[in-house]
């Protein structure tokens, strides 16, 4: 039976393909999920749904349930806040327009960072483009890959800790809507918004509780608690918040292929939480194995 809970678990609700800054094509990512024993996977590329169709094809082929989604870039003051959206209508005009705007801003911003880096390092915009697939969402990970390729740093992580760090001297902030507008956009498109890794180091209590109240009023549905970058103290706080506001708690790998050490299925979401998300969504449906 489609959606039979016995076949859904384990559930990994946050992954990236080469449509953004992961290293595997969407179909390959779904095949990797199969091999890793993950039975339900959400594809959540940054600010793009371009991988949905290929991921769906592979999901049918190999018998994995696919939850189509996205990780929307938002900004709260100087803080970058990621909002996961699940099962929204990918043709919703406002969401399509806003994600196109963010992707364009990401490109302009990456070009600005590369121009700054090029003063001190042998690096061109073409080097960065060579690390992306056509039409993909450009991000600092692609600049990192180009820097690795040129031998300026050893790894993506090394690049993030040095040259690409906000205080590294070459950083440029990214235009993005507020988290509140992000949540509203996803809801208006029939989707289910979940705050991504809200308790990472240095991002503890990413949003103050009065602002969280407003996000919940606007339709925020869950908090991603089981994520390798959330601190233990932060997780305890998230659990309290979820209790107080009636939010679901999710877990995921935030897999980026070879771009990060995160492994598929290293953190998972309870089937009951997934079912609540599916029941709440009106924009699109999972592709059931």
21 contacts Zn ion (rule: CB under 5 A): yes
| Residue (12 or 98) nearer to Fe ion, CB | 12
| Residue nearest to ligand AMP as judged by C-beta position | 139
Cβ atoms of residues 156 and 148 within 8 Å: yes
When CB distances are held under 5 to 8 angstroms depending on the partner's kind, the choice from Zn ion, Fe ion, ligand AMP, none that residue 160 binds is ligand AMP
- Closest to Zn ion by CB, 16 or 156: 16
Say which entry of Zn ion, Fe ion, ligand AMP, none residue 260 contacts (CB below 5 to 8 A, set by partner kind).
ligand AMP
* 119 exposure class (CB count in 10 Å sphere: 0-12, 13-18, 19+): exposed
> b/e per residue, 54-74, with b = 16+ CB within 10 A?
bbbebbeeeebbbbbbbbbbb
Q: Is 260 a binder of Fe ion (CB under 5 A)?
A: no
- Please identify, using beta-carbon distances, which residue of 40 and 44 lies nearer to Zn ion: 44
175-204 footprint of Fe ion as x/- string (CB under 5 A): ---------------------x--------
Work out the end-to-end distance of the chain between its first and last CA atoms, rounded to an integer number of angstroms: 9
List interacting residues with ligand AMP (CB under 6 A): 21, 139-141, 156-157, 160, 174, 256, 259-260
| Count of residues engaged in binding Zn ion, rule: CB under 5 A | 2
188 bridge partner residues: none
123 vs 247, beta carbon nearer Fe ion: 247
Residue nearest to Zn ion (CB): 21
- If binding is defined by CB under 5 A, does position 21 make contact with Fe ion? no
Structure token digits, residue 151: 């031998």
CB atoms near residue 191 (< 10 Å): 31
Instruction: Kindly write down the DSSP assignment for every residue of 54-123, as one continuous string.
Output: HHHHHHHHHT-EEEEEEEEEEEETTEEEEEEEES--TT-HHHHHHHHHHHHHHHHHHHHHHHHHHHHSS-
Q: Please name every residue paired with 192 in a beta bridge, in sequence order, or none if there are none.
A: 86
Q: Name which of Fe ion, ligand AMP, Zn ion, none residue 156 binds, using a CB cut-off of 5 to 8 Å depending on partner kind.
A: ligand AMP
Q: Using CB under 5 A as the criterion, which residues of the chain lie in contact with Fe ion when the complex forms?
A: 71, 82, 196, 254
């Amino acid at each position: 039976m489609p959606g039979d809970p016995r076949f859904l678990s384990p559930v990994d609700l946050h992954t990236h393909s080469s449509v953004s800054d992961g290293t595997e094509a969407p179909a390959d990512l779904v095949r990797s999920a199969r091999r890793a024993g993950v039975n339900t996977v959400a594809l959540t590329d940054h600010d793009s749904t371009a991988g949905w169709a290929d991921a769906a094809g592979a999901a049918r082929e190999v018998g994995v349930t696919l939850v189509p989604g996205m990780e929307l870039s938002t900004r709260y003051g100087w803080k970058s806040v990621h909002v996961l959206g699940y099962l929204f209508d990918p043709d919703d005009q406002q969401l399509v327009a806003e994600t196109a705007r963010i992707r364009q801003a990401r490109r302009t911003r990456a070009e600005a960072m590369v121009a700054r880096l090029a003063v001190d390092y042998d690096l061109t915009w073409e080097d960065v483009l060579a690390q992306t697939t056509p039409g993909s969402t450009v991000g600092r990970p692609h600049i990192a890959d180009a820097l690795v390729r040129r031998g300026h740093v050893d790894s993506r992580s090394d690049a993030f800790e040095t040259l690409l760090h906000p205080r590294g001297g070459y950083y440029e902030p990214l235009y993005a809507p507020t988290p509140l507008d992000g949540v509203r956009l996803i809801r208006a498109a029939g989707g289910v918004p979940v705050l991504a890794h809200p308790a990472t180091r240095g991002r503890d209590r990413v949003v103050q509780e009065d602002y969280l109240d407003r996000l919940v009023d606007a339709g925020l549905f869950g908090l991603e608690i089981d994520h390798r970058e959330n601190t233990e103290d932060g997780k305890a706080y998230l659990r309290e918040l979820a209790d107080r506001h009636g939010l679901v708690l999710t877990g995921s790998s935030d897999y980026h292929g070879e771009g990060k050490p995160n492994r598929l299925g290293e953190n998972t979401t309870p089937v009951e939480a997934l079912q609540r998300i599916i029941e709440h969504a009106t924009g699109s449906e999972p592709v059931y194995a």
